Amino acid sequence: MKADNNKILTRLSLPFILRGIGILLGIGGGYLYYIKVGCNSGSCPITSNPWMSMLWGGLVGYLIADMIPKRPQKQT
């Protein structure tokens, strides 16, 4: 009974973990984009502010991580 609960927990939490990793990588990528490409004049609404770059990077990271297909369930 305990092993069944662990399998269910692992199966349910894996997509959330993958999306969380995608968000964190996106936030890091957004910050790197701000550092390397960022707009100094302030006229660029996304890249002139590190918080906006990180927000959009996190969103893109979530969307990319959400595209990862789920593994098919094995029938026992």
Q: What is the pTM of this model?
A: 0.75
Q: By mean pLDDT, which of 1-10, 21-30, 56-65 is the weakest?
A: 1-10
Domain extents for the chain? 19-66
Three-class secondary structure assignment of the chain: CHHHHHHHHHHHHHHHHHHHHHHHHHHHHHHHHHHHCCCCCCCCCCCCCHHHHHHHHHHHHHHHHHCCCCCCCCCC
- Structure confidence at residue 41 as a pLDDT band (50, 70, 90): confident
Distances (CA, A) of 39 to 4, 19, 29, 46, 57: 52, 29, 16, 9, 16
Q: Mean pLDDT, to the nearest integer, of 42-52?
A: 84
Least confident span in 3-7, 28-32, 63-67, 71-75: 3-7
